[in-house]
Amino acid sequence: MAGPHFTHRVARGLVVYHRKNGKRRQETTYLDFRNHIDVKIHEIQDYLIKNIQGETTIAELSSIAGTSPRNLTRVFKEATGITVNEYVTKIRLAIAKNLLKNPKNTMSVIASKCGFKTERQLQRILKN
């Protein structure tokens, strides 16, 4: 058995970026923080993306991962380089930017779909 590290290296080598030419970096928040091999953190990331509209606590996430809240926050930061809250904000922001492309979406609808508490919160984060 080669193990997860070997599998990860092979998978990374097989990735083919075909959506953008070589002059521009392939940027997507969904992939930027997934270049690790921690299966539990991948599960947490998938859960957060699927449940972005609601508020999820660290306690809920730690029960999904089968670990303590303190350990989850430590392991998540080690694997991704950012905190859970920073990750959630980045995902929400990516979704909001995508929804802003449709002029029919109002700021309040976008804020609601992305899990922001208020339209003002979304506007403040978009400015930063």
* Local confidence pLDDT in tens for the 128 residues of the chain: 667 767 766 766 666 544 445 555 556 777 889 889 999 999 999 999 999 999 999 999 999 999 999 999 999 999 999 999 999 999 999 999 999 999 999 999 999 999 999 999 999 988 88
Provide the pLDDT for residue 26: 52
Provide the pLDDT for residue 4: 72
Provide the pLDDT for residue 30: 73
CB neighbour burial string for 61-90, b if at least 16 within 10 angstroms, e if fewer = bbeebebebeebbebbeebbeeebeebbbb
C-alpha separations of 18 from 5, 22, 79 in Å: 25, 9, 26
Domain ranges of the chain: 21-127
Return the CATH class of domain 21-127: mainly alpha
Provide the pLDDT for residue 15: 63
Provide the pLDDT for residue 7: 72
Provide the pLDDT for residue 35: 87
Provide the pLDDT for residue 28: 75
